[in-house]
Amino acid sequence: MDRLPLPPIKANVLKIKDELSLARDGSGLLEQKKDILINNINLLAEKADQVRAEVDKMLADAYRKLSIALLEAGEASVEAAGLGVRAREQVVVKERSLMGVILPIVHVRIPKLRPEYSLAGSTETMDQVRKAVHAALELIAELAEVEIGVENLLRELKKTLKRVNALSHVYIPLYESTLKYMEETLEEREREALFQMKKVKAIKEAREKKGG
């Protein structure tokens, strides 16, 4: 197994033990972060599905009313009415942080509806179209908020998984292999040193006996 190119000395053993402990702690924290990210992604994805379905429903209603307005007043009148409407909505975007991930908070300030085109040539259905689109704006803003949040969390999850895999499958095994090699080498050296000491002691005692 691969190991770090460090000499097997006690100082390096202590260093590797510290680094291995940090790597294991880091791996544990990243696993917790991964679980939190996955949980929040699932929650936001479920919410996105719900909001998207509601937006689709509201926009489908608006398009249906637009089709009726085109039949009632004609394309030219509807187009003229549309050109007379000024966009007064304001989109306000704030931010919040989750596990270091920036998530948007989107809000649309919608002014009170008021007539902005001539009543001549317009129909009640044209007013209904405008109201329907207006009503959908808040949900569209919420959908954007949720979908961007999911994208940001997924991006962070991908980075976190890479770090978890790197620690679990590369760095921690590398430190463990290096530590094992160093400890075994030092133990072998200690055994050899002890053997040499016993050998020298035995020779010394033998000489003393002969001399006596």
Per residue in 10-19, pLDDT (tens digit) is 999 999 999 9
* Total-model pTM: 0.75
C-alpha distance from residue 140 to each of 8, 48, 105, 149 (Å): 63, 11, 13, 14
The ranges assigned to domains in the chain are 10-211
pLDDT at 122: 57
Q: Is the pLDDT of residue 165 over 60?
A: yes
**How far is residue 136's CA from residue 74's CA, in Å, rounded to a whole number?**
24
The tokens describing 150, both together, are 């999911």
Dihedral (CA of 184, 186, 190, 195) sign: positive
Q: Does domain 10-211 have CATH number 2.40.10.220?
A: no
Residue whose token pair is 């989109």: 91
